[in-house]
Homo-oligomer: A and B are copies of this chain.
């Protein structure tokens, strides 16, 4: 099928999805969950093919683990669909309806975006998840998954499309682009006529390529070079606990702490305790000269360290003379994700919240909380590090837009 056909089918499906009742959408999601479980064997066989090809190609262990499906992982996928079926449907709500002086009643109605394109890597679990989030919000979705997961993705999409047909819902609510050539992906990124928004899900390289090549509006989910600034008045025990949590609770995630910024007046007390705890967890410490003097085992940080998202057991440590210097340093090197201050100073707390330019700014808490579930959205499409449309953890609302609806009684413009 050509991209043109795929686009046109998605648009046709969208006109039905736009007005589908919530009850029906939820039933489809639950049935799809059932069918994924019922089709486990077929999906696992398809995944076995992908895994074998991956091993032959010499994919590394981390990538192979992301590609792997198991009975348990399919159950988790199905469970995800059921959870999404239970969330409140945001579509149809009317906001800010007001009567204008001329009698026009004007409100904003929450509606689907239309056709969503998702470009992702070889993680088959994204396939079911992306469909469910888009379907719940009345969007048709076109998936372009990594070529290494093509058999797994096809098996999952087949199961969902069969479910849609069985439930008398438009099958083209989900389509998978089978042609995994780079040229095709680049054409897909320019399919403005049919696709309303493109969401890349994956590593920095994938995201950069979509941002640079797409003419369709993109929601950028990005990297996190997250800082924790320990202020002069911080509770130092709290600071150590929070840093340890943010750095080591899970290292490979975008909301993990990558850099510690410390006020000069507390380095003597804080850093020895901190380095001991970081050493216990085998965290490599890269410090500036002032900090290094109080951190046994630390090595010298270089300029590149300040801008680095390690995603590993490594952290950089920067000494500053004031909160101004801390804010300036963080605003220079942060990637607009999550930033925290540990302080007991009211003014400094408020200044940090006001002046730091990032999607989530914390006082006295771990950056690891930046997450759709932790923020209470019940689902997460990703964490936006751009400023347009959605910023920070994105729940179902990020897949919606509004349109103005206007009730008149014959009004004309004077």
Taking beta carbons and an 8 Å cutoff, which residues of A are in contact with B? 15, 18-19, 98, 100, 104, 106, 109, 113-114, 192, 196-197, 211-212, 215, 217-220, 235, 238, 241-242, 244-246, 249, 331, 353-355, 357-366, 368-370, 374-376, 386-389, 391-393, 401-413
Contact = CB atoms under 8 A, between A and B. Distances in A.
Contacts of A409: 364-365
Q: What 4 A-B pairs are tightest by C-beta distance, nearest first?
A: A365-B408, A245-B412, A368-B413, A389-B389
**Chain A contact residues, majority secondary structure:** mixed
A404 B359 contact: yes
Given A114-B387, A219-B388, A357-B403, 7 more contacts: A19-B355, A196-B388, A361-B404, A365-B407, A365-B409, A365-B411, A392-B402
A242 B388 contact: no
A242 B142 CA distance: 40
Given A406-B362, A410-B238, A389 B391 contact: no
Nearest to A242: B412
Contacts of A364: 407-411
A408 B362 contact: yes
Most chain B CB within a 10 A radius of its CB, from A219, A220, A364, A413: A413
- Chain multiplicity (copies): 2
Nearest to A409: B364
Contacts of A241: 410, 412
A360 B108 CA distance: 9
Contact of A410 (B15, B217, B242): B242
B363 A410 contact: no
Contact of A391 (B98, B244, B403): B403
Nearest to A369: B413
Contact of A104 (B98, B245, B365): B365
Nearest to A360: B404
Contacts of A369: 104, 406, 411, 413
A403 B359 contact: yes
A106 to B, nearest CB: 6
A363 B245 contact: no
Contact of A389 (B114, B353, B388): B388
Given A100-B376, A369-B413, A404-B392, A217 B386 contact: yes
Contacts of A412: 241-242, 244-246, 249, 365-366, 368
A353 B19 CA distance: 11
Contacts of A375: 100, 106, 404
B217 A215 contact: no
Contact of A363 (B331, B374, B387, B406): B406
16 contacts: A18-B354, A114-B387, A197-B387, A217-B217, A219-B388, A244-B412, A358-B403, A362-B406, A363-B406, A363-B407, A364-B411, A365-B407, A366-B412, A368-B413, A391-B404, A392-B402
